[in-house]
Structure 1
Amino acid sequence: MTDHLTDDAAGSVPIRLIRKSELAVWLGLQPQFVRSWVETTAFQAEPGSISLVPGADGKLSMVLATLGEDEDPWVGAALAARLPVGLYRLAEPAEPKAARWLALSWVLATYVFGRYKTKPDRTWPRLVWPEGCDRALVESMADATALVRDLINVPAADMGPADLAAAAESLASRFGAGVRVIVGDGLLVENYPAIHAVGKAAAHPRQPRLIDLVWGDDKAPRLTLVGKGVCFDTGGLDLKAAGNMKLMKKDMGGAAHVLGLASMVMAARLPVRLRVLIPAVENAIGGDAMRPLDVLSTRKGLTVEVGNTDAEGRLILADALAEASREKPELLIDIATLTGAARTALGTDIATMFSNNDLLAADLMRAGEDEHDPIWRLPLHKPYRRMLDSKVADLSNVSDGPHAGAITAALFLQEFVGSGIPWAHFDIMAWNGASRPGRPDGGEAMAIRAIFAVILARFGTIV
């Protein structure tokens, strides 16, 4: 992903980052031809604007790029998208975090999902690595983001449960991790009945499975990541409308996110025992599909009445969270494209977060601000647990009412998290509906920079 960053500064054009409030003073220190060019082109240094300043030979000699008065993390992405093909460098050193962000946003702007393209995409400008930039962290974040985007963008025909397992195995091979995959009826043998029930209607090659990746010293603190891997969601017998089904190739976005996070943890060689659990299924329609008001068993032993077959993600996560809790990890994170209610509450850009631990939640919120990776916490409001009561089972997978859908989904998951385990649940969109600098339309990584910052603070060293 960092091919558009280079060490070779020969022939590079300087980029001068400037705020509107600084323009007059800066211009007063420049040669007459620069002042004349700025005046002739009516450059007013409005936020997001650029000016390509020529030299006496008519070639590009400088780029003026205007920052807003507030910190703009995506300025590098905007420049990469708008500048002519060539080589550029910062005219002056930036502080380390700003340098990192310039490099990261620049490279994220060059991301293209080209797997099915018959023609190459556009050629992008290159940037000289900014002075003081943490290259390893930029490379890790860029690679993780590309992995998440790629996995989500692949159509469901080519990203079924077996393909998702293959992606996990490829990542494990890269970092020397181990992977075990439990497939089909093996889930019943090893007591993952809810995962099996959700995925059993899929055709034989797309059988349900549990992907279990393990890396690191078994004696190290335990970090466990759980990701929802619904490779396509028809809604089951409670069939989705066409408009709601169209984007359901992204319903394995949680799985993509935990693989991206795992890649950053392993690349940093953090002193943890990492475990990644991905229940991978296709929620298909067939004669063997689960039905409304069926009662399912779970790994924890709780029984669940299926109030709606389209609330399948929480069912497969229930088994995975129960298994994750068995080892009592020091930190447990799950990520899922779980509810439309979370999008109604916070929109598509903000990761909805629930946690049973106030300190963990505060750390994640703070990291979200620091990493320009927006997160907002919603409450695990205990009185709403009654909305999941069932007359025939221990609980229902949905509430009968239209309210607090994201909260009741999180409360459902909490039933399967062991007591005393610091846990955070992320309910995310994992998709950009429109392109913005550094964030093309399609699959998107959300909250992983913030989560990684918290993992670094707890188990490693912040760079």
Structure 2
Amino acid sequence: MPIPFETAPGAIASAVPITFVTPSTWEAIRDTLSAAARQFAAANGFTAKPGASLILPGPDGQIAQVLFGLEDATAKSRDPFRPGKLPTLLPAGVYRFGNTPHDARLATLAFALGSYRFSRYRKAEASTAKLVPSDGIDVAEMTRIAGAATLARDLVNTPSNDMGPEELATAAREVAIRFGARFDCIAGEELKQNFPLIHAVGQASTRAPRLIELSWGDAAHPKVTLVGKGVCFDTGGLDLKPSSGMLLMKKDMGGAANVLALAQMVMDARLKLRLRVLIPAVENAVAGNAFRPLDVFRSRKGLSVEIGNTDAEGRLILADALAYADEDKPDLLIDMGTLTGAARVALGPDLPPFYTEDETLAQDIARCARDENDPVWRMPLWGPYDSWLDAKVADLTNAPSGGFAGSITCALFLQRFVEHAKSWLHFDIFAWTPQAKPARPEGGECQAARAVFRLLGERYA
């Protein structure tokens, strides 16, 4: 997707100003307009309601100004991405901010994110509005973040017939080539000995499972490892999902899409860290050789896992990948996955929970999430629930009986496979926007990656 910024010299002189108004500032701003513009606004019933817009014509019939409503500065709740609605409203042309929104940086990013269109299968009407970024805005950073979000959204939006484990590996390879990273991939039966859980989940599909690996950066720099769940389609396995439950399962590789987006941001910014990306990529299919409830598998770490439910497959493939990552003793180990409906019941689709025992890391990621308008919420690694993972014939089960604390018990399961990393951070994301919002079109979404990139930028710039 082309990034909708106009940076040509002199562009700002001819750009149409966008004037941000709020219910409390509208009267004063209205008084600065010409009599004809005031009358036009009144005739159109413009009231500066948040999200409302009005294009004001000039004497020559051309667009003279755009009015756009925001929340008052004192409002209980404000959406910093409200200006992300503008690309869906504005006709073709070049625009600039005529006055300062609540947060000019986030408003600029929102404009770029709101310009996104997924057009692989049909011609989508592209946003033709361009923005001249205000003075002080780091255009390279905005372009970097918006480009990575586009990558994540495109990967998640692509249906599973065109986004299987092999295609996901191809996408990762393309990112690696672009930034000069090393790319490796282990596929099919080669996984059986050293990555038995990844193999078990993916063995029933005609599309061979894979473990995708990227590495980049100076070996002398701090080690940061990203692990992303890459279930390219999830039927639920023999514990088959109902048809309604399968409808969005093309997005079950959203963790992989988001760590690739994060990796792209890191490499493009050339942060001073040693980056490693691991993506276990599988399709959880149904066949005669599918793994079964109460099967027992020995994991890479050596722990035996009893299968309580074949639809709790994401934590299985992440377990082997996390154990592999942990062997390298990274300074920071981060995993992302579309893992539990329990997380959505607790916090909804827009607020992914995160888990860590590192108090400083928890405070830092929460602050970065607020600063980036990339919301996340800390949940507890509640020790007393760890016993719920006990299995009758193995070291642990992947799916405790009962319906309580599903996101917490998933995090506790994954924690069993992390021992040597200095800090571990786990995200249970949704990777999907069910209803369009400003800057967030309906469909695949980049979640938590911008917050983590902000954190990494602060630590390793």
- Give the TM-score of the pair, scaled to structure 2: 0.95
The residue matched to 1:185 in structure 2 has which SS?
helix
SS at match of 1:126: strand
Distance 2:2 2:83 in 1: 13
Q: Does 1:156 align with 2:160?
A: yes
Does the Cα contact within 8 Å between 1:200 and 1:207 map onto a contact in 2? yes
Preserved contact between residue 354 and residue 425 of structure 1 (Cα < 8 Å): yes
Given that 1:225 and 1:258 are in contact with CA atoms closer than 8 Å, whether structure 2 keeps it comes out as: yes
1:87 and 2:91 aligned: no
Shift of 1:10: 5.1
**SS state at 1:20 partner:** coil
Q: Which moved more, 1:36-45 or 1:290-299?
A: 36-45
1:420 Cα offset (Å): 5.5
Q: How far is 1:88 from its partner?
A: 1.2
Does the 8 Å CA contact 1:104/1:138 hold for their aligned counterparts?
yes
SS in 1 for 2:24: helix
Amino acid at match of 1:169: R
8 A Cα contact 1:48 1:65, kept in partner? yes
Give 1:120 shift.
Answer: 4.4
1:34 and 2:40 are equivalent in the alignment: no
Does 1:147 pair with 2:154?
no
Cα deviation code 1:77-131 (max 9, x no counterpart): 1111112222211224668xx33222211121121111111x3424522212222
Matches within 5 A, 1:213-252: 213-252=214-253
The residue aligned with 1:61 is 64
Aligned residue type for 2:165: P
Please say if 1:114 is aligned against 2:115.
no
Q: For residues 196-215 of structure 1, give each alpha carbon's deviation from its aligned partner in whole angstroms, at most 9, with x where no partner exists.
A: 11111111xx1111101000
In the other structure, the counterpart of 1:78 is 85
Structure-to-structure mapping, 1:176-191, within 5 angstroms: 176-189=180-193, 191=194
Counterparts of 1:127 and 1:339 in 2: how far apart (Å)? 39
Which stretch shifts more, 146-155 or 101-110? 101-110
The SS at the match of 1:21 is coil
State the partner residue of 1:456.
457
Q: Given that residues 94 and 131 in structure 1 are in contact (C-alpha distance below 8 angstroms), is that contact kept between their aligned partners in structure 2?
A: no
Q: 1:309 to 1:9 in 2, by over 3 A?
A: same
Structure 1: which amino acid aligns with 2:107?
L
Identity of matched residues, %: 51
Match of 1:99 in 2: 104
8 Å CA contact retained: 2:160, 2:232? yes
Distance 1:114 1:58 in 2: 33
Structure 1 counterpart SS, 2:346: helix
Q: Deviations over 1:52-98 (max 9, x none)?
A: 22222232211111211145322321111112222211224668xx3
Secondary structure, counterpart of 2:455 in structure 1: helix
Range moving further from structure 2, 17-26 or 119-128: 119-128
Cα separation, 2, equivalents of 1:165 and 1:53: 49
Please give the secondary structure, in 2, of the residue aligned with 1:299. Answer: coil
Which residue pairs with 1:50 in the alignment? 53
Q: Which consecutive residues of structure 1, in runs of 5 or more, have no partner in the other structure?
A: none
Give the Å deviation of 1:260. 0.3
AA at the equivalent of 1:49: A
SS at match of 1:89: strand
Residue 289 of structure 1: CA displacement? 1.0
Please say if residues 224 and 324 of structure 1, whose CA atoms lie closer than 8 Å, have aligned partners that are also in contact. Answer: yes
Whole-angstrom CA distance in 1 between matches of 2:296 and 2:17: 65
Q: Is the 8 A contact 2:226 2:259 kept in 1?
A: yes
- Given that residues 117 and 124 in structure 2 are in contact (C-alpha distance below 8 angstroms), is that contact kept between their aligned partners in structure 1? no
Quote the residue 2:436 is aligned against. 435
Residue 319 of structure 1, CA deviation = 0.6
Matched, 1:136 2:140: yes
DSSP-derived class of the 1:224 partner: strand
Q: Which whole-Å CA distance do the structure 1 matches of 2:197 and 2:43 have between them?
A: 68
Q: Which deviates more, 61-70 or 272-281?
A: 61-70
1:19 partnered with 2:26: no
CA distance in 2, matches of 1:439, 1:315: 31
- The question of whether the paired residues in 2 share the 8 Å contact of 1:93 and 1:130 is answered with no
CA contact (8 A) 1:2 1:142 kept: no
Amino acid of the structure 1 residue aligned with 2:210: R
Distance 1:145 1:368 in 2: 15
Aligned to 1:374: 375
Q: Report SS of the residue matched to 2:446.
A: coil
Q: 1:438 is matched by which residue type in structure 2?
A: A
Deviation (angstroms), 1:363:
1.1
- Please tell me whether the aligned partners of residues 54 and 60 of structure 1 are also in contact (alpha carbons under 8 angstroms): yes
Contact map agreement 2:94 2:130 (CA 8 A) in 1: yes
Is the Cα–Cα contact under 8 Å of residues 84 and 107 in structure 2 kept in the other structure? yes
State the partner residue of 2:446.
445
Write the distance in 2 (CA, Å) between the matches of 1:214 and 1:435. Answer: 35
- Find the partner of 1:166 among 165, 170, 182: 170
AA in 2 matched with 1:4: P
CA contact (8 A) 2:307 2:397 kept: yes
Which SS does the other structure have where 1:429 is aligned? Answer: coil
CA contact (8 A) 1:100 1:135 kept: no
| 1:174, distance to aligned residue in structure 2 (A) | 0.2
**Structure 1 pair 120/396, CA: closer, same or farther in 2 (3 Å)?**
closer
For these two proteins, the number of residue pairs brought into alignment is 454
* CA positional deviation for 1:136: 1.3
- Structure-2 residue corresponding to 1:4: 4
Query: What's the CA shift string for 1:169-226, capped at 9, x where partnerless?
Result: 000000000011011111134x1111111111111xx111110100001111000000
SS in 2 for 1:318: helix
SS in 2 for 1:5: coil
For residues 123 and 272 of structure 1, do their structure 2 counterparts lie closer, same or farther at Cα, with a shift above 3 Å needed?
closer
Structure 1: distance between partners of 2:228 and 2:256: 4
Contact 1:214–1:276, Cα closer than 8 Å, also in 2: yes
Give the secondary-structure state (helix, strand or coil) at the position aligned to 1:9. Answer: helix
**RMSD across aligned positions (CA):** 1.6
TM-score for the superposition, normalised by structure 1: 0.95
Shift of 1:409: 0.4
Aligned residue for 2:14, secondary structure, equals: coil
